[in-house]
Chain A
Amino acid sequence: GTEDGHKDEL
């Protein structure tokens, strides 16, 4: 979600 940002990105 937005709260965690794009944590799947490197």
Chain B
Amino acid sequence: MNLFRFFGDMSHLASILILLYKIHATRSVRGLSFKTQALYVTVFVARYLDVFTEFVSVYNTLMKIFFISSSCFVLYLMKGRYRPTNDPSIDTFRVEYLLGPCALLALIFHYRWSFLEVLWSFSIFLESVAILPQLFMLQRTGEAETITTHYLAALGAYRALYIPNWIYRYWSEDVIDPIAVTAGIVQTALYLDFFYVYFTKVLQGQKFELPA
């Protein structure tokens, strides 16, 4: 565990706490893509099924349990308690265009031909594009609550921090994970546009608004 990865994980943890805070404070799930949140549940369940078969560390196990349970809780908040504040009519990204290609990629690229390993690959590919429905929604509405942009920034920072972590691991341990690294670079690249607006507007105290 190096500092890049540790702060990356902390940023991921923070993003979920910010998300829960946003829902609680505004008593609304407005501006959040249910599709993106449902994709994250799929990602975590597919990847962390190994929590029952592999033991890495207490930290690893606790984080896995947290990510699975918190993402399921967010889905419940969106479809249960705060359902009236959810607007599916602006959440129109076609997730089948993500699920199909990711399943195909996982069948082609994996480390071992076993159910859990192919599922692991699938989850890595799916995570890299899971934010697209949310970014698409942002693009469509052209604006976002500041707290929602902090959530996205923390999530993007988590991905960005994993990149120096991999460089460090390659240098210090001489190991590389081509599937995770390739998908991770793609995932981080998807945030570049968002980060540009976040740094030039939100962090200067302005509202997150895209040019018409």
Contacts and interface: CB of A to CB of B under 8 A. Distances in A.
A8 B175 CA distance: 12
Interface in A1-10: 1-10
Contacts of B112: 3-4
Given A7-B54, A9-B180, A10-B9, A2 B175 contact: yes
A6 B5 CA distance: 12
A8 B180 contact: no
B54 A10 contact: no
A2 B178 CA distance: 9
B54 A1 contact: no
A5 B54 contact: no
Contacts of B60: 8, 10
B91 to A, nearest CB: 26
B179 interface: yes
Chain B contact residues: over half helix, strand or loop, or mixed?
Answer: helix
Nearest to A1: B175
B175 A6 contact: yes
Contact of B180 (A1, A3, A6): A6
Contact of A9 (B5, B176, B178): B5
A6 B70 CA distance: 23
A4 B176 CA distance: 10
A9 B162 contact: yes
Interface string B121-141: 000000000000000000000
B133 to A, nearest CB: 22
Given A9-B180, A10-B12, A10-B64, A3 B162 contact: no
Interface of A: 1-10
17 contacts: A2-B175, A2-B176, A3-B111, A3-B112, A4-B111, A4-B112, A5-B111, A5-B178, A6-B169, A6-B180, A7-B56, A7-B120, A8-B57, A10-B9, A10-B60, A10-B63, A10-B64
By Cβ-Cβ distance, the 3 closest A-B pairs, closest first, are A5-B177, A6-B177, A8-B56
